[in-house]
Amino acid sequence: MKTLYIFIIFIIVAVAQLYIPAQMILDQEQVLETGTAYKFRTQPIDPSDPFRGKYITLNYELDAFATKDSDWKRNDEVFVYLKKDELGFAKIDKLSKHKLESGNDYVIAKVTYYNSYSEILRFNYNFDRFYMNEDKAYDAKVAHREAQRDSSSNTTYAVVYISNGNAVLDNVLINDIPISKFVE
């Protein structure tokens, strides 16, 4: 009888270990299928993490917003409501400390700081890492940096799908070419 209980507990633990990662993957896939695609102009930095692998860290040009509300603290959540410009790039429509009943797409970001002199709120998004094949990561970093330097002829941006506050970074493009193809 004791072995039966141990076997049942083992089965429950095994199913939980499979269910949780599978649910996380399915949630990301649902955002990609049902979310709205936004283009975010990027500024690159490229660290390497031995535990997470090779990736490009992306800074976004759209990381600040003017607001007279000065009651912001570091790491506060900020609801960033978005709209698209005529070229399909993301623009901030408004910010809020709470979810609004607005029909606009939004993402939840973290406040980095509020400059009371200029009345600018700065924040970071949670979709700032683009993981790549390790063989292409260095070349991608160099290509992305070079494209940023020559901004007159190159457009670098990230495609991010957004649905109900969830965001999934789909790809990074240089001149409308996925970065993994651009470096080949």
25 and 74 belong to one structural domain: no
The percentage of the chain sitting over the pLDDT mark of 70, rounded to a whole number, equals 85
| Strand order through the sheet with 106-115 | 64-66, 120-124, 106-115, 77-84, 90-96
74 and 154 belong to one structural domain: yes
Domain range for 1 is 1-34
**Tokens linked to 90:** 């993301």
99 and 8 belong to one structural domain: no
CB 74 within 8 A of CB 112: yes
25 and 50 belong to one structural domain: no
101 and 115 belong to one structural domain: yes
pTM for the structure as a whole: 0.75
116 and 59 belong to one structural domain: yes
Average pLDDT score, the chain: 82
pLDDT digits (tens, 9 = 90+) for 30-83: 878 888 788 888 775 555 555 556 677 788 888 899 988 888 889 999 999 999
**Tokens linked to 122:** 């700065």
119 and 69 belong to one structural domain: yes
pLDDT digits (tens, 9 = 90+) for 4-41: 888 889 999 999 899 988 888 888 888 788 887 888 88
19 and 77 belong to one structural domain: no
pLDDT digits (tens, 9 = 90+) for 109-141: 999 999 888 899 999 998 888 877 777 766 766
Q: Look at the chain and report how many structural domains it folds into.
A: 2
